[in-house]
Chain A
């Protein structure tokens, strides 16, 4: 079950990542394995997390995440 905040996070992240295909994000997505994943995408994810959930995502925690579900668990 996706919460409203998580849904906002997915929508905003998809809009902010230029090469991410529409509807391409879901909880079990292993984002680091995607062709659009790079350092700028990482910065984008950190920024969108901060604005959506109202708190920063520590880099050391972020580095341990493999899926978007892992990310959302830190919200």
Chain B
């Protein structure tokens, strides 16, 4: 038993590689899944694992505020939205920097604040952000992305303290590179030799979205009821080196 049966859990960024794997994991655990994403076409492809689907653009709060207001409170929320544009610092413009911080930190935080103000998170709810090991250690070309994921660590620790009196837990998963979604985008920017060298730095070999989804499911479950403000690194041991 996962302890997630019939729990209302929303996944933001549900159509991404990691988001859809999380949605599938939660569906298999008999949770009542709510999928949020920008693309109606991609959302439609998740109909078998999403009990409810909502087309929302996190940069347009006027659209999702109505969705939040009309829905019953949640027991869990996974924020798997994000953007990764590999740009060396010397060519990182303020606009590109702000775009990444806006998408990866400010917009999802705004969504969460809306949920809290509308009293749409139940007592005992669990919130999980998807970060990255780029937020823990630097990577060439990742200045904006690393800064945004580092920001999530601070955000999660602060929210964990602020929401503990309401018995709401807030945690972060920091995955390593999985060869899907952003991982595939990363592969497109480097040579095959560079990609092989990068994957070779993982002591347990390459990971998958299922590895990340399993960790998210754990943090959402009652088994993690005494864990909050934690950054769970899921990277096959890569950051040990």
Contact = CB atoms under 8 A, between A and B. Distances in A.
Interface of A: 12, 15-18, 39-40, 42-44, 46-48, 51, 59, 63
Interface of B: 86-88, 90-91, 140-141, 188-191, 194
Contacts, number: 34
16 contacts: A16-B88, A16-B91, A18-B90, A39-B194, A40-B140, A40-B141, A42-B191, A43-B86, A43-B87, A44-B90, A46-B189, A47-B91, A51-B91, A59-B189, A59-B191, A63-B191
Contacts of A16: 88, 90-91
B137 to A, nearest CB: 16
A47 B190 contact: no
Contacts of B191: 42, 59, 63
- Secondary structure call for the A interface: helix
Contacts of B141: 40, 43
A32 to B, nearest CB: 11
A41 to B, nearest CB: 8
B91 A39 contact: no
Contacts of A42: 191
Nearest to A15: B90
Contacts of B91: 12, 16, 44, 47-48, 51
B87 A47 contact: yes
